[in-house]
Structure 1
Amino acid sequence: MSRRSVLSGRVLGALVAVLATVTTTSAAGASVSAEAGGGGPAHGRFDNPRHGFAPPGTVLRDAAPARVGLDPAPIEEAVATVGGWTTSHPTPGTAHPLYSGAVTLLAHDGAVVSRSATGYAVRYADAAGTELPQEQRVPMRGDTIFDMASVTKLFTSIVVMQLVESGDVDVDAPVADYLPEFGVNGKESITVAQLLTHTSGLVSWVPLWSRYPDVPSRIQAVMDIAPRTTPGTNYEYSDLNLITLGVLVERLTGDRLDEVVARRITRPLRMTDTGFNPPASKLDRMVATEFQATPPRGMVRGSVHDENAWSLDGVAGHAGIFSTADDLAVLAQTILNGGSYRGARILRPATVAAMLDNHNEEFPANAHGYGFELDQIWFMGGLTGPRTAGHTGFTGTDLVIDLASRSFAILLTNRVHPSRNWGSINLARETLSTGLAKALAVEPERGRDSWYTGIGDASQSTLTTVSLRPSGHVRVVFDAFVDSEVTDRLMLEASADGLTWEPVPLTVSGRGAPEEEVVSLSGTGHRDWWTVRAQVPHAAEITLRWRFVTDARYTGRGINVDNLIITDRDQMLLNGEKEPHRVRPEGWQLRSR
């Protein structure tokens, strides 16, 4: 394939897929996006996944959650929990909070439904966590500017894909076609796509800042390094991949990466607080990050935290971007719109589709698009699915974009202030995204309500029938909406004595349902009701229960069961729609959404 081909084979494949739902013209802002299958809007729905992109004219506005069909309670609970961790820690006995401060922003269908700012942008004086006097602390604000760390990788990846659109880059071509000095020491065959998907075989990190004396030698070290594994055979998240792509962008455009990002992304989208090396005039709005003794930088504020990016003059493909929640929201809505916002198009819909397609199917736990991480429950929580994309940043930032519900969640913290050793904030990331997922509705399959359980980690909930007296084999039919981590499982169990329980094999049908008979249900992303059938051998007396069990970490939106019908050969033993009082819930509740 020619280096001048407008789109690689992979991108063309995505174009075929997206044309089913999106019609485009070459004029910026002139695209038309339509839902597959027609029908009206599905505001506030989790169980009615959307197809294609949002209309390209969608512009963010503030609205109460209920105005777009969301339940405000889960959002308020999640935001309060995330905000509470600016003064406490979820692990009992920990002497410091989870992070100094946090800013959150949640949006659905073009509506910003929640904003919050809690805690402090600057709170500590040293690495030990000595608190500054109250008058010297800087409160967190909605327009506080954060060091985005690895969220920078999304900006670099977007610029690379713009070069794919212009025909200057083929994602399937060797990187050495564009950077000949890179094609040494076993890297001759590494492709642009492998850098974007972290399958190049390069090691995750090298201390460029301390091993090499200046910017040219640090870049040369990346060009010279040998792969740790055979390219294309392993997934290893690597900063070196994106540093290389940043150099590629500079080589092909003739400009420094910060200038390219500004010209091609932030200025067209009017992201006025986003860029590398922010000006000193904005220092009063910037968060402090870490107190660094090595290198001797003191309390870092207004300069990139990542040592390698700092040693590259603050401009690198893997880290260095600063931004705000509102600016990042514009980027998120641009992706949901298929690459345009307020009439400015930075990517074609087909290119966005290619960026959000999973190119790592051979590495199931590491789904990855071109630059975007996909389907990662550890930070996407209840929004997790094959069409959920995003990225995290080491400093305590993340962005989660859920195409299926046209929603996104932004969490910005300064979790490394004053020390990176104060721990992970993945629980906060998961909590915020799950709060938005739970605000979205799952409508009952039949009647006004369904049984719902949204228990958290290391928990169990049961829904138990009264004792039944069948005259033969028992047949069970019910509907289930399952959104859970694969290790969090819903089981149907039977007991003849109410003490000893045995799992009942299940036959399941519906989009994303198991193809074989199973004894438990789990999974995320399919967002469809399943019809479940089971048969229980005859016993004089039988009790049935639905039991949902979660493991120590990570949960999805939860489980709904509905339309419970239990019969034997002669009679109806239990009709859940008409006799909900004959089912005893522990950790379940009847919900209309």
Structure 2
Amino acid sequence: MTVSGHCNPEFRDLRAEFEKNISSEEELGASIVVDVDGEIAVDLWGGFCDSGRTRPWNADTITNVWSSTKSVTSLAVLMLVDRGLLDVRAPVAQYWPEFAANGKDRIELRHLLSHTSGVAGWEPPFGLDDLYDWELASSHLAAQAPWWEPGTASGYHAQNYGQLLGEVVRRVSGKSLAQFVADEIAAPLGADFQIGARESDWPRIADVVPPPPLPVDLTVLPEDNLTRKSLGTPPLDAAAANTAAWRRADLGAYNGHGNARSLARIMSAISRGGTVDGVTLLTPDTIDLIFEEQSNGVDVVLGSPLRFGIGYGLPHTVTVPYIPDEQICFWGGWGGSMVVMDLDRRMTVTYAMNKMGPGLIGSPRSEAYLRTVYRTVDA
């Protein structure tokens, strides 16, 4: 299968790595972009949209990018901070009064943005159909008590990050999160990205191929285990992403649909100081907030060491040794999608694929691509 697109000569090793994975079928279909200060140095795509290998992955193919969606959700919230409509140190209840219930009155917006709020998921019972009901899902979270003392540790808000922050966006902007992203981010930038997916776009979606099972069976963990509660309620089911109900939902934690090009177009706003081709989304002061460390230690949901700033992960030499410990923020998605914003190099690296690999944040493939990118730019 031929890889299509553009690649500057200095990134030939990245192209070779990508072509190898496509031809060996390590990848089914994928796209990768490297944006250096607004110049698209790499924009490659290839493979297939389906397991039957009947539909080629084209320039306009999109797919569910899982938790790379969180990068765009965080950007939406930071844009409202930038406009003075939100304050990261204000209580969430200032914007969403019902959220104060059950001891959550002192949880600040920065706690939601950094996965340190203690509200890392829904209390069971809570099923997939409940997830698709915005009012119900928000009211459940508003009524719950935190699972640990807010601000003392991170616990990855894997499934409810978009619900928590999306409700805040809705309260202050009057728009749903999906509509805010469409109107305030995707449209001004001409970026082919959406939370959920319009039915007219379904024919060009590359269905996801589920990854190997998680290394631990959540159902054998104690019912009060934080990993089980966060990841297992509702049960994680990658195949759900290929359904109509999923595509119609507003799930800012993990149902964004796009490709590497649209993710790079949007997230380069951070790498490039807030402005993309004359469209300003953030000011430098707001970008500085991202790098205010909120937690640094073992994440109580994922069980691995993580560092969080406000809205994004920060480099960690143990968990993501392939990301330099510099002024870089990032996040990735279940199965391997990845978004890296490198402010020192004014570089954005994005990767989206449909064949999911092992790992909730990144994969061996995304690691290999990033290592190759940094070998190239630092040579």
> Which of the five TM-score ranges fits, normalised by the shorter chain?
0.7 to 0.9
Residues 251-290 of structure 1: pairs in structure 2 closer than 5 A: 251-271=171-191, 273-289=192-208
* Number of residue-to-residue matches in the alignment: 342
Q: Say if 1:63 and 1:113, in contact at 8 Å, map to a contact too.
A: yes
Q: In the TM superposition, what is the alpha-carbon distance from 1:346 to its structure 2 partner? A: 1.1
Say whether 1:352 aligns with 2:287.
Answer: yes
Number of the residue aligned with 1:581? none
2:75 to 158, 167, 178: 158
Q: Say if 1:401 and 1:408, in contact at 8 Å, map to a contact too.
A: yes
For residue 282 of structure 2, give the secondary structure of its aligned residue in structure 1: coil
Number of the residue aligned with 1:399? 339
Number of the residue aligned with 1:412? 352
1:237 to 142, 156, 161: 156
Q: In the TM superposition, what is the alpha-carbon distance from 1:80 to its structure 2 partner? A: 3.4
Looking at structure 1, the residues matched to 139 and 209 of structure 2 have their Cα atoms a distance apart, in angstroms, of 28
Letter in 2 for 1:251: R
Looking at structure 2, the residues matched to 290 and 299 of structure 1 have their Cα atoms a distance apart, in angstroms, of 11
Q: CA distance change for structure 1 residues 142 and 182 in 2, over 3 Å: closer, same or farther?
A: same
Determine which structure has the larger strand proportion and give its number.
1
Looking at structure 2, the residues matched to 304 and 380 of structure 1 have their Cα atoms a distance apart, in angstroms, of 34
Number of the residue aligned with 2:33? 105
Residues 92-131 of structure 1: pairs in structure 2 closer than 5 A: 99-123=27-51
Q: In the TM superposition, what is the alpha-carbon distance from 1:259 to its structure 2 partner? A: 1.5
Looking at structure 2, the residues matched to 340 and 76 of structure 1 have their Cα atoms a distance apart, in angstroms, of 28
Q: In the TM superposition, what is the alpha-carbon distance from 1:142 to its structure 2 partner? A: 2.9
Looking at structure 1, the residues matched to 249 and 324 of structure 2 have their Cα atoms a distance apart, in angstroms, of 33
**Greater Rg over alpha carbons, structure:** 1
Q: CA distance change for structure 1 residues 380 and 329 in 2, over 3 Å: closer, same or farther?
A: farther
Number of the residue aligned with 2:222? none
Say whether 1:324 aligns with 2:252.
Answer: no
Looking at structure 2, the residues matched to 240 and 300 of structure 1 have their Cα atoms a distance apart, in angstroms, of 16
Looking at structure 2, the residues matched to 378 and 414 of structure 1 have their Cα atoms a distance apart, in angstroms, of 27
Query: Gaps (5+ residues) in structure 2?
Result: 211-234, 300-304
Number of the residue aligned with 1:337? 272
Residues 540-579 of structure 1: pairs in structure 2 closer than 5 A: none
Q: Say if 1:149 and 1:319, in contact at 8 Å, map to a contact too.
A: yes
Say whether 1:423 aligns with 2:358.
Answer: yes
Looking at structure 1, the residues matched to 48 and 129 of structure 2 have their Cα atoms a distance apart, in angstroms, of 35
Number of the residue aligned with 1:52? none
Q: CA distance change for structure 1 residues 358 and 212 in 2, over 3 Å: closer, same or farther?
A: same
Q: In the TM superposition, what is the alpha-carbon distance from 1:161 to its structure 2 partner? A: 1.8
Q: In the TM superposition, what is the alpha-carbon distance from 1:390 to its structure 2 partner? A: 1.4
Q: CA distance change for structure 1 residues 283 and 412 in 2, over 3 Å: closer, same or farther?
A: same
RMSD: 3.2
Letter in 2 for 1:194: H
TM-score (norm 1): 0.52
Q: CA distance change for structure 1 residues 211 and 118 in 2, over 3 Å: closer, same or farther?
A: closer
Query: Gaps (5+ residues) in structure 1?
Result: 1-60, 66-70, 89-98, 124-131, 417-421, 442-592
Q: CA distance change for structure 1 residues 330 and 212 in 2, over 3 Å: closer, same or farther?
A: closer
Q: Higher relative contact order by CA 8 Å / sep ≥ 6: 1 or 2?
A: 2
Residues 164-313 of structure 1: pairs in structure 2 closer than 5 A: 164-204=81-121, 208-210=126-128, 212=130, 214-238=133-157, 239-271=159-191, 273-289=192-208, 300-301=241-242, 303=244, 313=248
Number of the residue aligned with 2:220? none
Q: CA distance change for structure 1 residues 371 and 84 in 2, over 3 Å: closer, same or farther?
A: farther
Q: In the TM superposition, what is the alpha-carbon distance from 1:210 to its structure 2 partner? A: 4.3
Number of the residue aligned with 2:326? 386
For residue 281 of structure 1, give the secondary structure of its aligned residue in structure 2: helix
Number of the residue aligned with 1:78? 17
Q: In the TM superposition, what is the alpha-carbon distance from 1:304 to its structure 2 partner? A: 7.2
Q: Say if 1:201 and 1:229, in contact at 8 Å, map to a contact too.
A: yes
Determine which structure has the larger helix proportion and give its number.
2
Q: Say if 1:288 and 1:302, in contact at 8 Å, map to a contact too.
A: no
Q: In the TM superposition, what is the alpha-carbon distance from 1:189 to its structure 2 partner? A: 0.8
Looking at structure 1, the residues matched to 241 and 115 of structure 2 have their Cα atoms a distance apart, in angstroms, of 29
Looking at structure 2, the residues matched to 379 and 326 of structure 1 have their Cα atoms a distance apart, in angstroms, of 26
Looking at structure 1, the residues matched to 274 and 346 of structure 2 have their Cα atoms a distance apart, in angstroms, of 14
Q: In the TM superposition, what is the alpha-carbon distance from 1:113 to its structure 2 partner? A: 2.4
Residues 494-509 of structure 1: pairs in structure 2 closer than 5 A: none
